[in-house]
Structure 1
């Protein structure tokens, strides 16, 4: 009987252990993934136009501050200006959307992914409107009918917020030309997942204090220290959409230069 009781007791322990391990596995999985963005909104209607050259990137950079990157990989001219209601004073710079058209005969009906890189100042602030690059507008067309679609005028489209995917690129920081030993401004590039930022902070190499940076304009964040800053600089980024935070440790090194770009080893996905 003692052997039977021991066996029954051992079985109970094993069951409890299995339950505990299952709970830990699930809990660990959930806490690991709860921080990741769950970007995705229902399809909504908007107007769409295009600007710039038919096969171009709209403008050379746009109001978000990405400069010539808009025509280079991974943006690859698949970019858009956006109405003020979606631009949100530049806080949505870097956010990604899928857009598609179905009502024009030249529409393919297939969604294409675009990145917000510019403001459409002539678009109504209360309406959703995409002023797409010629490249991204034409990408909604049936093969060979890109020109016909671009001749359609204002097009009715459907749009949905989606996660950004930059094929494994890590976040980069392009230091503004006006930066100096007391003032640092940087364009934050290639945030995967949510794509946009709610807060940015900087920590000097000689300090444990995180100093809040302010959005200067578009995707440019600045810190006007008023006294000499001591590199290397770590940058802490907080996603606007999900609140997820990550740190690019010592990403801007000693001897940094205005106009240089420094790539981190981190990203949201």
Structure 2
């Protein structure tokens, strides 16, 4: 069947506009990266996200600190980026997929890489040669994370049942930013916001007694937001340092 000129024109417009409308369109951003050292090559447990030991070991220690323009008031914590360096003779074509666990500023850098992340950048064990550059020209793009298992609630060690509650969300797929966490007040029949203390740490002073029902807000790259409701509440006997399974996955 032959299309009319009007339909042909409409089809051309759709073809031309599709790349701009499609959320799967991805581009690399040019930048710079440096690196830090650690005794065993993993990340550090003192990162600004507040992840603790999880921040040192997640993604097999292939982690990074990001600068202010990527930090997004801590919403960058737990997100993932593909980082590729630009020295053809030393750099791996696929680069490294890093998890953000810290904040850090360098010499016009967007990333400060852990030793294991730097190893992933180089090909044929070229990380020692890359170190001599100090700062590397790179390109990067945001990518989904490959976390195993469900989203987790980790209760910060600074919490104290029942007087003070602080929590971190772990294993959130890196396509989203966690921009808010709220707690259901049964006696008031309303959701109340937790405060973002720093990084990925949210807290609530004097939480209600009994089990705690939380929800968290995710923001998509295009700015669209949605609330996610875990399938199970945090039990009334919650303890500092404990981790609780939400029974949900974000794909």
Q: What is the TM-score with the length of structure 1 in the denominator?
A: 0.76
Other-structure match for 1:114: 98
Q: Secondary structure at the match of 2:159?
A: coil
Confirm whether residue 234 of structure 1 aligns to residue 217 of structure 2. no
Matched, 1:199 2:184: no
Q: For 1:233-258, what per-residue CA distance to the aligned partner results, in whole angstroms no more than 9, with x for missing partners? A: 12111113341321114431011111
Pairing 1:84–2:65 present? no
Task: Tell me if 1:75 matches 2:56.
Answer: no
Counterpart residue number, 1:244: 226
Indicate how the Cα distance of structure 1 residues 39 and 191 shifts in structure 2: closer, same or farther if over 3 A, else same.
farther
Shift of 1:204: 4.8
Consecutive unaligned residues of structure 1, counting only runs of 5 or more, are 1-37
- The aligned residue for residue 11 of structure 1 is none
Deviation at 1:103, TM superposition (A): 2.2
* 1:90-132 Cα distance to aligned partner (Å, 9 max, x none): 1211111110112252112213211110010x336xx551001
Give yes or no for contact 1:81–1:118 (8 Å, CA) kept in 2. Answer: yes
* 1:62 aligned residue: 47
Cα distance, 1:152 vs structure 2: 2.2
Q: RMSD over aligned Cα, in angstroms?
A: 2.2
Aligned partners of 1:232 and 1:253 also within 8 Å: yes
Change in Cα spacing, 1:204 to 1:250, as seen in structure 2 (3 Å) is farther
Q: Which runs of 5+ in 2 are unaligned?
A: 1-22
Q: How many residues align?
A: 225
Deviation at 1:138, TM superposition (A): 1.3
Distance (Å, rounded) in 2 between the aligned partners of 1:40 and 1:190:
24
Equivalence for 1:3: none
Contact map agreement 1:95 1:164 (CA 8 A) in 2: yes
Q: Residues 184 and 214 of structure 2 are in contact (CA less than 8 Å); yes or no, is this contact kept in structure 1?
A: yes
Q: Is the 8 A contact 1:56 1:71 kept in 2?
A: no
1:1-269 matches, within 5 Å, as 38=23, 41-53=26-38, 56-72=41-57, 74-120=58-104, 122-123=105-106, 127-167=108-148, 169-180=149-160, 181-204=162-185, 208-225=189-206, 229-241=208-220, 242-269=224-251
Which structure is larger by alpha-carbon Rg, 1 or 2? 1
Which whole-Å CA distance do the structure 1 matches of 2:26 and 2:150 have between them? 25
CA distance in 2, matches of 1:82, 1:224: 30
Using a 3 Å threshold, how does the CA distance of structure 1 residues 67 and 195 change in structure 2: closer, same or farther?
Answer: farther
Q: Supply the distance in 1 between the matched residues of 2:85 and 2:173 (Cα, whole angstroms).
A: 25
1:235 and 1:112 map into 2 onto residues whose CA distance is 34
* Closer/same/farther in 2, CA of residues 42 and 255 from structure 1, 3 Å limit: same
